[in-house]
Amino acid sequence: MLRFLGILLFIAPYGPAYGQQDTTTQRLEEVMIQENRIQLPFSKQNRSLVVLDRRQLEVSPAKSLNEALSFVPGVDVRQRGVAGVQADIGIRGGSFEQTLLLINGIKLSDPQTGHHLMNIPIPLLGIDRVEVLKGPASRIFGQNAFTGAINVITRLAEAPSLRLQSYGGSFGSSGISVAGALPIGNYRQQLSFSSDGSDGHWYNSDYKVRNVFYEGGAQVHPAHEIRGMLGYTDRSFGANGFYTSAFPDQWESIQTSLAAVSHTFKKEKFQLLSRVYWRQNEDEFRLKRKEPAFFQNNHTSTVAAIETHGSYNSKLGVTGVGLEVRQEAIVSSNLGEHSRDLVGVFAEQFISVGKKGEIRGGLYSNYYSEYGWKHFPGVEIGYQVTSALRLFSGAGYSFRIPTYTDLYYRGPTNVGNPNLMPEEAFSVELGAKWAKPNWRAELVLFNRASENLIEWTRGTSKEPWKPQNFTSVNFQGVESSFVYQMAIGNRQVSIKEFQLAYNYIHADLQQVVGLESRYALTALKHQLISGLLVGLGKKVEWNTKMRYVERISLAPYLVVDTRVDYNRLGQFGFFGEVSNLGDADYIEAGTVQMPGRWFRVGILLNLE
């Protein structure tokens, strides 16, 4: 296979360019990054940012957003099972509790546990693009954006459309995903649904995952737009090895609901965005699947929030301000009943310096009912050296408050610590971006000095895990990436995209004598990602992705996934995928043995 890919790379440049026009993508430099106040195009961003567009999501050998993110440099996806059942997402060596996930700027963090972060109700087919911001993001998005933030963006279509995918595969897996848009006059709306299931790839690993998402909106006045969205996800799964290896019959069922309404006012140089949203997560967990009386937890966590964000363009640049009020509550058979209130205030300024420089700085001030006021300033600086080369640097503070599981959990293998303090960090990065019409590259150096880092530890294997604050831990790293996008070659063979990235992270956290660490010493150390998207003839696309992962104290592994699409841009097509092509033996999280080589085939329907 490697020899064949080498032949393709050798012969491709000698033929004329050819390929179907793909209307699912747009020039990355022109994409407006969807932050809540000051919004700038990708080309003006002075920090490390990765955007996955709709085409990249469609051709990716991924069955869920979790798996699509595993091919993003600097992002550590640690799955428990497949097809979006559950995954922990870390950025730049951070834990799964230190990443913030958003849908169209709305926070999805769960006060119970970060394990529920990826319980998103949107099928992969309904996502327009994903923006991955690496580095401290508290100044931009608020609490818990400790090491970065992932913003899932949807789009209301202007014309009617219907898209469908259905598949079947190994381990009794099957699924269907449907996304449709039906504008009525000035009102635009879309509805997406997906259902996935499997008998499981090893003992007690079966799952059922269902998602439904609706979004609608209208331009009710030239200056006023109203949008609303509703989402629901239901997932039940055998949880063998998810949280402990002592009980292989663990089982969990989770239902997450989301509702939001937003209003945008735009007039000349002023813009005001206001929104209210609500999220509820219901979680039933059993240590023995068929014996709930042995040990069972029922948790219901609720988040309600209201936000308003404004920006104003003047001779001084762009000024942004914002206010959020948020309440988090939980009712739990294990954790008890708790609630906490938050008030956050944002202020930032973007200034152009001459024709080539920019400075963007700001402050996020936060009040938590449990911890009082905290202040988190940050700044980014950029300089356009040439039309292709941009230098950038940034620094900022971030924080993360303990979850209710960190504080209050009681179980046979895990015990919370109510005396935990919030995590805090100061991060600095220095980078360079090169961008040409068909390729882009990036090199970034970063350092994160963390205080009160929360880590689960235990003295012996007979003792339960218990979280504690570490005084100070430093993370340093280097990130490098190269992406080439262009249809080169002849009518038979074309290279549409080539990706290569390497990342290295060093953490000075050492194993404390007499204590075993649960998460920190499994953080990402080396990561190598490559990908090749090949066009064969007029209608065939072949995408192969490789990722090599080595963590601080775990054995490395190499996973290769591949996907072939036939007539993806037409009304009716087919696809086939092979995951873990090399049949690697590996574990990403907990003690969950990930599947060996497995297959799936499916059909595509596009009516646009």
Per the structure, the complete domain to which residue 271 belongs is given by 2-278+290-307+320-607
For residue 324, being part of any structural domain is answered with: yes
| pLDDT, the chain, mean | 90
Cα–Cα distance, 60 to 543 (Å, whole number): 7
Arithmetic mean of pLDDT, 9-30: 48
User: Looking at the predicted structure, is the pLDDT value of residue 367 above 90?
Assistant: yes
What SS3 state is found at 608? Answer: coil
Does residue 537 contact residue 567 with C-beta atoms inside 8 Å?
no
Cα–Cα distance, 187 to 165 (Å, whole number): 26
pLDDT band at 552 (very low <50, low <70, confident <90, very high): confident
Paired sense of beta strands 423-435 and 439-458, if any: antiparallel
Arithmetic mean of pLDDT, 209-231: 96
**Torsion, CA 91, CA 366, CA 111, CA 259, rounded to 10:** -100
For residue 339, being part of any structural domain is answered with: yes
For residue 314, being part of any structural domain is answered with: no
Cα–Cα distance, 273 to 34 (Å, whole number): 12
For residue 315, being part of any structural domain is answered with: no
pLDDT at 304: 97
pLDDT at 402: 93
Largest CA distance in the chain: 69
What SS3 state is found at 98? Answer: helix
pLDDT band at 17 (very low <50, low <70, confident <90, very high): very low
pLDDT at 437: 85
Within 8 A by CB and 6+ apart from 119, the residues are 108, 110, 233, 235, 254, 256, 281
pLDDT at 512: 64
Does residue 203 contact residue 176 with C-beta atoms inside 8 Å?
no
pLDDT at 26: 61
Lowest mean pLDDT among 50-64, 191-205, 501-515: 501-515
More confident residue, 378 or 554: 378
Percent of the chain residues past pLDDT 70, beyond the cut? 93
What SS3 state is found at 419? Answer: coil
User: Looking at the predicted structure, is the pLDDT value of residue 129 above 90?
Assistant: yes
Task: Centre a 10 Å sphere on the Cβ of residue 513 and count the other Cβ atoms it contains.
Answer: 5
Within 8 A by CB and 6+ apart from 419, the residues are none
Residue 201's domain is classified under what CATH number?
A: 2.40.170.20
For residue 415, being part of any structural domain is answered with: yes
Within 8 A by CB and 6+ apart from 135, the residues are 47, 48, 92, 147, 148, 394, 396, 427, 429, 446
- For 373-415, what is each residue's pLDDT tens digit? 999 999 999 999 999 999 999 999 998 999 999 999 998 888 9
Does residue 239 contact residue 252 with C-beta atoms inside 8 Å?
yes
pLDDT at 521: 66
Within 8 A by CB and 6+ apart from 435, the residues are 29, 43, 388, 390
For residue 283, being part of any structural domain is answered with: no
Cα–Cα distance, 497 to 482 (Å, whole number): 11
For residue 494, being part of any structural domain is answered with: yes
pLDDT band at 252 (very low <50, low <70, confident <90, very high): very high
Percent of the chain residues past pLDDT 90, beyond the cut? 70
Arithmetic mean of pLDDT, 345-361: 94
- For 100-116, what is each residue's pLDDT tens digit? 999 999 999 899 998 89
Cα–Cα distance, 565 to 29 (Å, whole number): 27
For residue 174, being part of any structural domain is answered with: yes
- For 44-87, what is each residue's pLDDT tens digit? 889 999 999 999 999 999 989 999 999 999 999 999 878 878 89
User: Looking at the predicted structure, is the pLDDT value of residue 14 above 70?
Assistant: no
Instruction: Please give the tally of structural domains in the chain.
Output: 1
Closest to 179 (Cα-Cα) out of 233, 122, 235: 122
Q: Which range among 133-137, 514-518, 552-556 has the greatest average pLDDT?
A: 133-137
pLDDT band at 582 (very low <50, low <70, confident <90, very high): very high
pLDDT at 4: 33
Alpha carbon 595 to its chain's center: 22
More confident residue, 558 or 4: 558
Closest to 523 (Cα-Cα) out of 553, 494, 497, 499: 553
User: Looking at the predicted structure, is the pLDDT value of residue 509 above 80?
Assistant: no
